[in-house]
Amino acid sequence: MKPPEGVQANYPLARLTTIRTGGPAEWFSTAGSSERLAELLAWADNEKLPVGVVGSGSNLLVADEGVRGLVLKLDGDLASMEPEGHRILCGGGARLPQAAALAARAGLTGLEFGVSIPGTVGGAVKMNANAYGGDLARVLEWVEIVRAGEVERRTPDSLGFRYRRSNLQPGEVVARASFALDPADPADVKRALADLRAQRREAQPSGIKTFGSTFKNPDDPRTNGKTAGQLLEAAGCRGLQVGGARLSEKHANFVENTGEATTADVIALMAEGRRRVREHSGVELEPEVQFLGDVNAEALYS
């Protein structure tokens, strides 16, 4: 069957990610409405194509060889945001920092943690994103999940949230979400956002091509309370470079694309960082970054 109008073949994905690596999608399309999303998912299902979603690409490594199947990006109505009483209704493609700013203007508190997470609402749900002690599950009221031929509303207790994880399966798209927030003085919420932005500038490198945290903070007594970044730093990984990929001097858990990095460079760098931490402290770091396509991550575990 011919692809629906607007579906593009061999579409470069690197520019849709913040690290800017990886190859093209076999098929790519934006989806700006529920009807369009249903049409695209039905086509992919009919063609037996796997479906992937790109949000802001801020925690994503795309295979250099490209991605088989259909890759979607939500826009239009599925990236909109709207206050409704004490709620903020969002499309899955809405950006979290903008949703946090909208909540502040509307005099609503609870979403402040989103101000420094450069992802979309859908990506935040998939990753159970968090920062500064915020809690996505506490403010998320429901999400609308779409699969081929099916739409389902789920509440946070059925999303299997764990540290940087949910139970969303490949091919399940977060199309919409509702955040239930508490009333507050807009000036107070705006001040909180400014404070969080300042804290972030202090702690993390800015203006670099990166996907944020590379490894999860391990839950292992041998860390003695150290974060993944501190373990990498202690193992001498600050500034470590493989090809065009480097672990940041400012924050060792951030990979930086210095210009011409490939996903293979990033994986080789992660493997070396992981190996050094294992040797130095005995701790096995696990990737936080998500893979799209057949990223060859064998080196990470050898």
Ligand X SMILES: Cc1cc2nc3c(=O)[nH]c(=O)nc-3n(C[C@H](O)[C@H](O)[C@H](O)COP(=O)(O)OP(=O)(O)OC[C@H]3O[C@@H](n4cnc5c(N)ncnc54)[C@H](O)[C@@H]3O)c2cc1C
Backbone angles phi, psi at 253, to 5 degrees: -90, 5
Residue 262 in contact with ligand X, rule: CB under 6 A = no
Does 249 participate in catalysis according to the annotation?
Answer: no
Round to whole Å and give the CA distance between 189 and 258. 36
Residue 43 in contact with ligand X, rule: CB under 6 A = no
Among 24, 32, 92, 293, binds ligand X (CB under 6 A): 92
Residue 58 in contact with ligand X, rule: CB under 6 A = yes
What the block records as the tokens of 139 is 């403010």
- Burial zone of 129 (CB within 10 Å; 0-12 exposed, 13-18 middle, 19+ buried): buried
Residue 156 or 212: the one with the smaller Cβ distance to ligand X is: 212
Segment near ligand X (CB under 6 A), from 54-62, 148-156, 236-244, 266-274?
54-62
- Annotate each residue in 103-142 with x if it binds ligand X (CB under 6 A) or - if it does not, as one string: -------------xxxxx-xxx-xx-xxx-----------
- Minimum Å gap between C-beta 133 and ligand X is 11
Query: Under a CB-based contact definition with an 8 Å cutoff, are residues 90 and 131 in contact?
Result: no
Round to whole Å and give the CA distance between 49 and 25. 12
- Annotate each residue in 229-248 with x if it binds ligand X (CB under 6 A) or - if it does not, as one string: --------------------
Among 21, 56, 109, 263, binds ligand X (CB under 6 A): 56
Residue 146 in contact with ligand X, rule: CB under 6 A = no
Closest CA to 55 of 143, 173, 171, 136: 173
Does 288 participate in catalysis according to the annotation?
Answer: yes
Residue 287 in contact with ligand X, rule: CB under 6 A = no
Answer positive or negative: Cα dihedral of 39, 43, 45, 51: negative
Q: Which of 56, 213, 248, 281 is catalytic?
A: 213
What the block records as the tokens of 243 is 């090809």
Provide Rg for the chain, Cα atoms. 19
- Minimum Å gap between C-beta 250 and ligand X is 11
Round to whole Å and give the CA distance between 233 and 221. 18
Residue 178 in contact with ligand X, rule: CB under 6 A = no
Residue 13 in contact with ligand X, rule: CB under 6 A = no
Does 213 participate in catalysis according to the annotation?
Answer: yes
Query: Under a CB-based contact definition with an 8 Å cutoff, are residues 284 and 276 in contact?
Result: no
Q: Who's near 191: CB < 8 A, 6+ residues apart?
A: none
Among 51, 54, 235, 269, binds ligand X (CB under 6 A): 54
Say how many residues touch ligand X, by CB under 6 A.
33
Buried b (16+ CB within 10 A) or exposed e, 162-171: eebebebeeb
Q: Which residues are catalytic?
A: 164, 213, 288
Residues lying near ligand X in the complex (CB under 6 A) are found at 18, 52-60, 74, 92, 116-120, 122-124, 126-127, 129-131, 168, 173-174, 204, 210-212, 290
